[in-house]
Amino acid sequence: MTFDFDPPDDAPVWLLPAIFVLDQWMGRNASPRESIASPANRRLPSEDRALLMKIAYGAIREERRLSWALGETIQDLDRNGRAAAIVLAEAFMQGALELDDARHLFVRWSQVELQWNSLLDVEEAILEIEDEVQQFALSHSLPDWVAQLLLDEFGEDSELIARSWAETPPRAIRANRLRIADRSALALRLAEAGISTVRGRHAPDSLLVSGDASLFDTAAYRDGAFEQQDEGSQLVALVAAPPPRGRVLDACAGAGGKSLALAALLNNAGRVLAIDVHKGRIDDVKQRAGRAGAFNVTAEVVPEDHWPEAIATFAASADRILLDVPCSGLGSWRRRPEARWTLAPHDLDKLEQTQRELIDRAVLALKPGARLIYATCTLLRRENETQVEAALARHPQLELVRIAEILGKETATPIADATGTFLSLRPDRHGTDGFFAAVMRKKK
């Protein structure tokens, strides 16, 4: 079925871009973030750009639930027809369009009638489903296997976690003390630019940004006074606690957020070596380090299956090795709603194998007295505590260092597990992304 876009003159300006984002994600698995950030969309007024992001991400997140509500006929549509239907339905659910307006636009485009009125009582209809897993999956728009995973591991808390994935994540930034005195000075500078902030709850350099103002157009950003970084990610760097003038290997650096935070904790002394298997990410690290004034950061691309001799030599001299390992990423699903559809059950086994290999590689290089920080942005015990327990069993020369010993009991209690051993963050409890971290030391 051919879908002919012909929006009326009074159609919202964000509507077609939102449909395009969903269409490109459905057809090419294109990054929603990159599609939204296209040059044409950046020219939209800030209010429309914010609605575009809200509706597009919401449509991706709610795709299963909305398709179910609109009825089986939606499966007869071509890809862009389905994308249009889901975006229009999500726009109604978020109050951006009236239901009749959404229906009339879709019929005008497709000449197809869907079950639009079912959107009015979709929650009540889902509650009539007898199968617990399917009811939970449809209620929160999840694959059945993810719903089963949550229910098995978290029980009653599954509802809280799934609801948190539908919330808008906070816009958290870290005051870069290499460029500005502290977060109070940064808050004042941003206020002068018309941007309102409040202090983060947990990380000492964090601010939470109010509203939709563009941070990256500010002089403070150009001057390197802050980095956009979730509080949970900031806390992982804090838990690493590099010693004065210490040497740190950030072995899964990504785009370098934690590397830059570690450089600031070291006050530009010592050395941080950031490595990753993706050249594009390492290029980002170098660019960000220059803007941040983090002159003690160097960055290198490495192969997936080993560390070259120079990297291994540095690792053997490092005081800290940070492994923010590849993981299922359930802790960041507020920011990446598409991940619920791209992660497959067999991916977990592959990820766990990669995690074990990275731990073993780091332990082999770790010098006596040095610490290995194992971190993830997932909520699953099998990728977190279970991996640490297995690592301690494989490597009896390792011992745990409790988070409460590193940060102090008062600071650690709100962000650690009940024993004070691990960093344990959940979006529904802490307002951060979900993060886990364990600190292991090689015995002298």
> Which residue do the tokens 């978290």 mark?
154
The stretch 188-197 carries a mean pLDDT of 96
Over residues 317-345, the mean pLDDT reads: 97
Percent of the chain with pLDDT over 70: 98
- Is residue 153 exposed (0-12), middle (13-18) or buried (19+ Cβ within 10 Å)? middle
Q: What is the pLDDT of residue 4?
A: 52
Residues 267-313 have pLDDT tens digits of 999 999 999 999 999 999 999 999 999 999 999 999 999 999 999 99
Helix or strand (DSSP H, E) at 28 = helix 15-28
Q: What is the pLDDT of residue 248?
A: 98
Q: Residue written as tokens 């995973």? A: 149
Could you tell me how many residues make up the chain? Answer: 444
Task: Out of 195, 282, 377, 380, pick the active-site residue.
Answer: 377
pLDDT of 41 reads 87
At residue 280, the pLDDT reads 96
Is the confidence at residue 3, as pLDDT, over 80?
no
Instruction: Determine contact, residues 430/415, Cβ cutoff 8 Å.
Output: yes
The predicted-structure confidence for 368-412, as pLDDT tens digits, reads as follows 999 999 999 999 999 999 999 999 999 999 999 999 999 999 999
What the block records as the tokens of 178 is 């290499």
Q: In angstroms, rounded to a whole number, what is the distance separating the alpha carbons of residues 43 and 53?
A: 14
Average of per-residue pLDDT across 10-36: 90
* pLDDT reported for residue 5: 58
Residue 324: enclosing H or E segment and its boundaries? strand 320-324
> Which of 367, 287, 355 minimizes the C-alpha distance to 324?
355
**49, 51, 52, 55 alpha-carbon torsion, rounded to 10°:** 160
Q: What is the pLDDT of residue 28?
A: 81
Which tens digit of pLDDT belongs to each residue from 348-371? 999 999 999 999 999 999 999 999
Question: Using a CB cutoff of 8 Å and minimum separation of 24, what contacts does 399-405 make?
Answer: 399/440, 399/441, 399/443, 400/438, 400/439, 400/440, 400/441, 401/371, 401/439, 401/440, 401/441, 402/439, 403/239, 403/437, 403/439
State the pLDDT at residue 166: 95
Is residue 252 annotated as part of the catalytic site, yes or no?
A: no
Q: What does the pLDDT read at residue 8?
A: 65
412's tokens: 């650690």
pLDDT at 42: 85
Q: Is the pLDDT of residue 142 over 90?
A: yes
Query: Would you list the DSSP string of 212-253?
Result: S--GGGSHHHHTT-EEE--HHHHHHHHHH-PPTT-EEEETT-
- How far, in Å, CA of 372 to CA of 301, rounded? 21
- Residue 2 confidence (pLDDT): 43
CA atoms within a 13 Å half-sphere pointing along the CA-CB vector of 364: 11
Helix (H/G/I), strand (E/B), else coil: 315: helix
Average confidence (pLDDT) over 185-202: 97
Which among 248, 307, 314 has a CA at the least distance from the CA of 276? 307
Mean pLDDT across 316-325: 98
Give 114-135 pLDDT, tens digit per residue.
999 999 999 999 999 999 999 9
**Greater pLDDT, 248 or 9:** 248
Query: Tens digits of per-residue pLDDT, 151-181?
Result: 999 999 999 999 999 999 999 999 999 999 9
> In Å, how far are 204, 230, 427, 440 from 207, measured between CA atoms?
9, 10, 17, 30
pTM over 0.85: yes
Strand-strand pairing, 247-250 and 320-324 = parallel
3 state SS for 81-99: HHHHHHHHHHHHHCCCCCH
Using DSSP, how many helices (H) and how many strands (E) does the chain show? 23, 12
**Phi, psi (deg, nearest 5) at residue 323:** -115, 95
Residues 6+ apart with CB under 8 A from 221: 215
Residue 156 and residue 182: Cα distance in Å, rounded? 40
Mean pLDDT, all residues of the chain: 95
Position 109 confidence tier, pLDDT thresholds 50, 70, 90 = confident
Please report, as a single letter, which amino acid is at residue 349. D
